Structure 1
Amino acid sequence: MKALFRLLHALPLCAALVSTPVSARDITDAMGIVAVPDAPKRVVVLTNEGTEAVLALGVVPVGAANSWNGDPWWAHITEAMAGAEPVGKESAINLELIAALEPDLILANKQRHEEIRPQLTAIAPTVMSEKLRGNWKINFRLYAKALGREAQAETAVADYDAAVDGLREKLGDHLEEEVSVIRFVPGQIRIYQLDSFSGVLLKDIGFNRPANQNVEAFAIRTGKESIPDMDGDRIFYFTYESGDGKGTSLEEDVLADPLWQSLSAVEAGRTHQVSDAIWNTAGGIIAAKLMLKDIARLYGLD
């Protein structure tokens, strides 16, 4: 990484300076005040949820962080990302590729990119969101402000809220269920709580959660010994696969365990495997809408 920094610092900065329009606006992000161009034309976005945000706002980025398990994009955004250049995973951004794209605006995240912020801001004005969990609307509105597309953002949020309201009405008495959300990742099981992507959506809809999940926190990180704590009236589970098969292996091991088989939701046939990308990892507005459709389908309401 140090070699990359030296190379980037050796690059002339004139391209970045020329590509930034003279007219600019000041906005406040997770790091302070940033002067952004009035009408950015070449946007690079460095998070999966940010990519969904700009697409939903009608902007195709010139470059974006690779989808975590995409090739290079998640299947549900591949068509929309035609022409965009991948610039590395969120946690391993390629600064040379970003500089070569000559962006006039970069959308990044403090949690992921604070250490490389000096290099990013040397390329183009960089707006940083703060968190990568919980309520996607916070980052969505920040990115919209940076793009000068606040009106489009509010329309998109209103459409999402209307879809939530419609699904809530259709679900009716099903909302009395306590729904449990479980994720298998290599070496770890997570019991998701309210301050997670899926947790926010389920709360928006109005579902109840088991007591250990009805907490304003992110997740309980645990192992097979906590299988009894994963129960609910219904269980949604998903698996992150890092490419070595360990996530899937853990999932298979847990689902075959007698403790899992004895859970009330399992015995009642109310467990559902869902997409890790849609229910967790993509993390943006497009995935949120697809998750609503998943729930409608799983409850026989689509």
Structure 2
Amino acid sequence: MSNALRHRRGTAAVSLAAVGALALSACGGSDKGSGADAGEQKKTHTVQTAMGAVQVPVAPKRVVVLDTAELDSAITLGVKPVGSTHADVESGFLNYLPKDKVAGIKDVGEMMTPNLEAIAELEPDLILTSKVRHEDKYNELKAIAPTVMTEGTGFPWKENFQLHAKALGKEAEAKKTVEEYTAHAAKVTAAVGGKDQAARTKVNVVRFVEGADIRIYGRKNYIATVLADVGLGRPAVADKAKDGFSYDVSPEKIDLAGEDAAVIFHSTYGDPTKAKQTRTLNSALWKNIPAVKAGKVFGVDDQLWIQGIGYTAASRILDELQTDLTK
């Protein structure tokens, strides 16, 4: 999920002592490997994380992920976690992920309030998350298993992916993933008319959010990096974004999203009416935006475009960009 989401933080339901006891119990439980496998699991290497150096199994077998980016990374690298938190969506795990890849993953609670007992019961040998999500739970999590945290999520997703790959022992797979993505992005650039034409095609991304103002995305967020990888231009309003993330407006100022924008993509988080989507898309201001009049406005899946954050999501987005921009 993007770091734009303002989730409510809950207090931990399980004390550090209780989790530590669960972790010790888990360590004394059934043997998950024997012979060569057991020997491999005992081998560790040092991974530099946002919380310092962490000793991580060379070949982790039981991975728990606590956010959407970490789940995308694991799936991309061919790892099925034993447990994952769920996003705040009806489908639980984000709907763009292949059903067979997430089947059997244990749901360990909502993203911002993971169930620490449920995590401990899975006897993980690695936990992946970020400081921005779970720094307050770090001591409890590391009592269960080595915990690798990135600093944040969203904009630095490519760097985070490399850390996830190192922790998972999948650096070769990560290299191949990046090469394939780079080639895919170049293919989309060529399809829209080449680098010069892509740069002239100014694209805006608008997100309707229940309980918040409408977000016109800037240059420092996940989706902006995908647009940049294709070489697409951005309207001037993108540079007004606070901290580069988003420029937030009311429905009465939605025309700002259309200034100098050749194409607009929009998504909705939450109820369309409560997110002001219905009201805005039916307004005269919206209907008079040049891109709207030209039929160059496309509704997209919020789970894929905004919440996914990873190479599996990005590859799907590239496909959709090519389809929509070549119509």
Task: Give the TM-score normalised by the residue count of structure 1.
Answer: 0.92
Distance across 1 between alignment mates of 2:326 and 2:149: 40
Gaps of 5+ in 2: 1-10, 33-37
Counterpart of 1:205 (choices 213, 230, 238) is: 230
Please, which of 210, 214, 226 is the counterpart of residue 253 of structure 2? 226
Q: CA deviation at 1:16?
A: 4.0
Correspondence 1:27-176 to 2 at 5 A: 27-77=47-97, 78-172=99-193, 173-176=197-200
What is the CA-CA distance between 1:79 and the residue it aligns to? 2.1
AA at the equivalent of 1:165: A
Residue 286 (1) aligns with residue 312 (2): yes
Change (3 A) 1:2 1:70: closer
CA displacement 1:106-125 (0-9 Å, x = unmatched)? 00111000000001000000
Question: What RMSD, in angstroms, separates the aligned Cα atoms of the two structures?
Answer: 2.0
Following superposition, the deviation at residue 297 of structure 1 comes to 1.4
Q: Is residue 256 from structure 1 mapped to residue 282 from structure 2 by the alignment?
A: yes
Query: 1:288 and 1:258, CA in 2 relative to 1: closer, same or farther beyond 3 A?
Result: same
Residue 54 of structure 1 aligns to which amino acid in structure 2?
A
Identity %: 36
SS state of the match for residue 52, structure 1? helix
Distance in 1, matches of 2:59 and 2:275, equals 48
User: Which segment is superposed worse, 283-292 or 128-137?
Assistant: 128-137
Q: Deviations over 1:64-94 (max 9, x none)?
A: 1113315322222222111110111221111
1:184 to 195, 208, 232: 208
Aligned to 2:3: none
Q: More deviation in 286-295 or 208-217?
A: 208-217
Distance 1:124 1:247 in 2: 43
**Alignment length (residue pairs):** 298
Gaps of 5+ in 1: none
Contact preservation (8 Å) 2:208, 2:272: no
Alpha carbons of structure 1 residues 125 and 132: separation in structure 2 relative to 1, 3 Å: same
2:214 matches 1:193: no
Which range is displaced more, 78-87 or 140-149?
78-87
Q: CA deviation at 1:166?
A: 0.9
Distance 2:293 2:124 in 1: 54
